[in-house]
Chain A
Amino acid sequence: MKILRAPRVERCVGCDSCSLACARLVHKRISWTTAGIRITSSGGLSTGFEAKICLACDPAPCAAACPTGSYSQRKGGGVRVKPDVCIRCGACAKACPVDAIYIEPETNVPFVCLHCGRCVGFCPHQCLEMIDAPGTADAAVPVTDAAQEKEASHAG
């Protein structure tokens, strides 16, 4: 099973193309928040950007907290979502240790990354990548810019 990672998020320019793509293509919305990935600055725009995404916990605390089975454990980490049985209680968002679940204020509907990867192609700087879940047979460490630089400095 693949999961979404943001191994090169230092490159992020804050364009929100990933969030807008997720909302448009997965959730059929025009939005920069009702999406499985959201880009924020932390303490002003001069500090750069971070991606709020599901880190594919296994076991997932949000699935454990969900009282109706709307969220259930996904193989490889993260959750499978059945929106029809969600009662909009918000327990999933409270349980998430990394603030990866967005509750739409007007509807109380939770939005979380489904690890489908549809946002990846809309990042102009290749910050995002689908990788094999850690612990699976094909799992590899994603290549970060820092790792690339290290390799380069040892080359030759």
Chain B
Amino acid sequence: MPAEPFRVLMVDLTRGRGEYINFGDKNEHLGGSGLAAALFAAYADVSAPALAPEQPLIFAIGPLTGCYPLMSKTVCAFKSPYNEQYAESHAGGRLALSLRFAGIDALVIRGRSPVLSALAVGIRRLDFVDVHFLRGFDVFTTGKQLRKLHRSGAGHRSTLRIGPAGENQVAYACINVDTYRHFGRLGSGAVMGAKNLKAIVIDGGKSLPAPAGKDYPDVFKAIYDQVVDSGMMKKYHDLGTPENLLALNELSALPWKNLQSTKEAAIENVSGEAFARDLLLRKAACAGCPVGCIHVGLLREKYAANNDYLYRQVSYDYEPLFADGTMLGITSASGILAVMDEIERQGVDCMSAGVALAWATEAAQKGAIGLAETIVPLAFDDVAGYREAVRHLGNRTNEFYRLLGQGTMVAAAQYKGEDYACVLGQEMSGYATGEVFYISQAMGVRHSHLDSGGYSYDQKHTDKDAVKAIDFLVADEADRVALTSMVSCLFARNVYTPETLGRALSAMGLSGMAENLGKAARNIQKLRWKNKIDCGFKPREVKIPKRFYEVTNWKGQADPAYLEELKTYYASRIEALVSA
């Protein structure tokens, strides 16, 4: 069967031009993670800095995008300004379907715009719009102005934008996608900022022919019914991922106060149940997903004496509630939303920002830094202080916030606080479950809790068999790569078993891809690791900060010997993958 290439839009911001090219082989690179990794290998300069204008910012969708439920995510790949390594971040919203129906498999943005610009993309559109007047605008105000600037596709398009943090190239600045979703981790927002690109608007109004016959609608209906009626997705829709707060606290696995503890009585005020009872305003969904996991909370604020109120809508999930809540010792649900709202406005990754401020709070407690650095007093549970600090972080007000905006460990190295910096490759995710998770995030290709199910492995295995644990992580990663190449939401990983995925592809007339799926996924796994190693990642030099050994996790105290064994064996597996 002849190779079918992807349709890729290459945009050169320096020249203000775009070009559609044919790229790669769909059976080999699949799409999503695979397509993004292949585009990075072809167009990135691994030896040049992440924020160099020529580096590509890649957005890729997959062969099943828009064709089945929960095939609703887009993969963003770039060289990370946080660690100068290959990075991949995922987001939902309307972006994936907008790209699909604009006829674009991947959008690759290179160069640097001469003025702060917005890029508008559609089936009959490629515009570069001067938006210098939006400089410094926060994410929400930017969104409102963009809606006035671009009328085409109003109400049914996707809008990506950055806030002050992205413009100021904070190393973990995020890209906001359609208000409630994000390319959160590892600094894609800073890459946009370095390209002088404030926003991207994608308007997709194209339709594609559905495969003939009953197979496709029948497979769709079976998957849809399973998603909606079987109860499999209830946890994501009901309380949502915040249901983890109470459960992980009970297991002594919820990080509190810069991981000084893992279980606190104050959980009752900030549990998923408390949010649903007191603050949940409504739910929303990514386009193409009937689950509706986006939980939007109502933040009501009295801003003047005479019963003058304003309200804000803040989307919440487990990870931001941990990072901007328990990690900062905040004991009121509305207080957490207030910090998250400021983080949204500035456009920083909510996980890295929360964990960075948690470190800064402990550093201030220990006297390692003072008001000269933090400008505003930082103390656990002080919501007003944190809101102010987030503004300084986004605007890089002084040398301290500039360093903290490069990453917690950068600031920790300067102020001698590495031991209590909760960094596992990047600022930690909210799982103090034990050694396997710590290693899986510290060494995972994305440094994400989503690379593989390390946190789940910890909870199911009490033995200390490093080979078994790492073999699980590597195999689980390959399965996830198949899904993120489609591009599925990982919440659907129990729905899209290899068999279901094969049926779904075959019903779309992609039986060749279905047959090659396992092999292609393993090759993509290798390519992602190769990209990361080529950028300089050294798995044997990974360090686990002292705090992770001190705190009680779900399994008790972390065992240094077991961690070392896990690290050594994982490093050898990574090296073998890349050299195979």
> What residues make up the interface of A, taking CB atoms closer than 8 Å to B?
13-17, 20, 23-25, 27-34, 38-46, 48, 50, 104-106, 122, 124-125
B216 at the interface (CB under 8 A from A): yes
Cross-chain contact A105 with B66 (CB below 8 angstroms): no
Does B282 sit at the interface, judged by CB under 8 A? Answer: yes
* Contact, CB under 8 Å: A106 / B123: yes
Q: Chain B, 196-235, contact with A by CB distance < 8 Å: what is the 0/1 string?
A: 0000000011111110100011001000100010000000
Q: Is B366's CB within 8 Å of the partner chain A?
A: no
Known: A16-B287, A29-B209. 15 other contacts (CB 8 A): A13-B292, A24-B216, A28-B212, A29-B207, A30-B208, A30-B209, A32-B101, A34-B207, A39-B156, A40-B156, A43-B147, A44-B143, A46-B179, A50-B155, A106-B123
Distance, CA A42 to CA B67, complexed state (A): 25
Instruction: Decide if B287 touches A32 in the complex (CB within 8 Å).
Output: yes
Q: Assess the A45–B178 pair: CB atoms within 8 A.
A: yes
Contact flag A25-B217 (CB < 8 Å), given A41-B155, A105-B124: yes
A15-B290, A46-B313 given; A30·B123 CB < 8 A: no
Please give me the residue from chain A that is nearest to B229 by CB atom: A124
Complex Cα distance, B366 from A110, in Å, reads 68
**Is the CB–CB distance between B217 and A24 below 8 Å?**
yes
For window 156-180 of B, CB contacts with A under 8 Å fall at 156, 178-180
Question: Hey, which bits of chain B sit against chain A, CB under 8 A?
Answer: 66-67, 69, 97, 101, 123-124, 143-144, 147, 154-156, 178-180, 204-210, 212, 216-217, 220, 224, 228, 282-292, 294, 296, 313
Determine whether the beta carbon of B205 is less than 8 Å from that of A33.
yes
B375 CB to closest chain A CB, in angstroms?
31
A48 touches B282 (CB 8 A): yes
Nearest-Cβ distance from residue A8 to partner chain B, whole angstroms? 13
- Which residues in B have their C-beta under 8 angstroms from that of A124? 228, 290-292
A33 touches B313 (CB 8 A): no
Question: Which of B66, B179, B204, B209 is within 8 Å of A44, CB to CB?
Answer: B179
Q: A112 CA to B217 CA in the complex, in Å? A: 21
Report the minimal beta-carbon distance from A22 to chain B, rounded to whole angstroms: 11
Contacts of A27 in B (CB 8 A): 207
Give the CA-CA distance A81 to B494 in the complex, in Å: 42
> Smallest distance from the beta carbon of A111 to chain B beta carbons, Å?
9
Shortest beta-carbon distance from B271 to chain A in Å: 23
When chains A and B are docked, how far (Å) is the Cα of A16 from the Cα of B101?
13
Partner of B155, one of A20, A42, A104, A106: A42
A59 to chain B, nearest CB (A): 28
Which of B147, B155, B209, B282 has a CB less than 8 Å from the CB of A28? B209
By a CB distance below 8 angstroms, the chain A residues around B155 are 40-42, 50
Give Cα distance in the complex from A105 to B208, angstroms. Answer: 13
* Contact A104 B207, CB 8 Å, known A32-B66, A46-B179: yes
Q: List 23 A-B contacts (CB under 8 A).
A: A14-B285, A23-B207, A24-B217, A29-B207, A29-B209, A29-B210, A30-B67, A31-B206, A32-B66, A32-B287, A32-B288, A33-B207, A38-B156, A40-B154, A40-B155, A40-B156, A41-B155, A44-B143, A46-B296, A46-B313, A105-B205, A105-B206, A106-B123
CA distance A77 to B571 in the complex (A): 68
The one of A16, A29, A105 in contact with B97, judged by C-beta atoms closer than 8 angstroms, is A16
**Distance in Å: Cβ of B555 to nearest Cβ of chain A:** 38
A122 proximity list for chain B (CB < 8 A): 224, 290
Question: Does B66 contact A30, Cβ atoms closer than 8 Å?
Answer: yes
Whether A32 pairs with B97 at a CB distance below 8 angstroms is yes
Which residue of B123, B210, B217, B290 is within 8 Å of A17 (Cβ)? B290
- Asked if A31 contacts B143 (CB within 8 A), the reply is no
Question: Measured between C-beta atoms, what is the minimum distance from A137 to chain B in Å?
Answer: 34
Which residues of B lie under 8 Å from residue A40 when comparing CB positions? 154-156
**Cα A50 to Cα B154 with chains together (Å):** 12
Q: Which residues of A contact B101 (CB under 8 A)?
A: 31-33
Closest to B178 in A: A45
Q: Is the CB of A31 within 8 A of B156?
A: no
- By beta carbon, the residue of chain A nearest B180 is A45
CB atoms of B224 and A17 under 8 A apart: yes
* Chain B, residue nearest A17 (CB): B290
Closest to B233 in A: A124
Bound together, the chains give a CA A125 to CA B285 distance in angstroms of 12
**Is the Cβ of A17 less than 8 Å from the Cβ of B207?**
no
Q: A63 to chain B: closest CB distance in Å?
A: 24
- The chain B residue sitting closest to A20, CB to CB, is B288
Give A14 to B212 CA distance when docked, in angstroms: 27
Give the docked Cα–Cα distance between A125 and B292 (Å). 10
Chain B nearest CB from A145 CB (Å) reads: 12
* Complex Cα–Cα for A16 and B220 (A): 14
Question: Would you give the shortest CB distance from A101 to chain B, in whole angstroms?
Answer: 14
B288 near A16: Cβ-Cβ < 8 Å: yes
Taking the closest CB of chain A, its distance from the CB of B169, in whole angstroms, is 27
Alpha-carbon distance between A106 and B209 when the two chains are bound, in angstroms: 13
Cα-based distance from A33 to B100 in the complex (angstroms): 12
Instruction: Please indicate the chain B residues that have their CB under 8 angstroms from the CB of A23 in the complex.
Output: 207, 210
Cβ of A93 to closest chain B Cβ, rounded Å: 13
Cross-chain contact of B287 among A15, A34, A48 (Cβ < 8 A): A15
Instruction: State how many angstroms separate the Cβ of B4 from the closest Cβ of chain A.
Output: 17
State A59–B299 Cα separation when bound (angstroms).
46
Choose from B123, B179, B288, B290 the contact partner of A105 (Cβ within 8 Å).
B123
Measured in the bound complex, the distance between the Cα atoms of B204 and A20 in whole Å is: 14
Question: Closest Cβ of chain A: how far from B89's Cβ, in Å?
Answer: 20
A122, B212: Cα distance in complex, Å: 20
The CA of A16 and the CA of B144, in the complex, are separated in Å by: 23
Q: Is the CB of A24 within 8 A of B124?
A: no
Q: Which residues of B contact A15 (CB under 8 A)?
A: 285-292
Contacts of A31 in B (CB 8 A): 101, 206-208
A20 to B286, CA, bound (A): 13
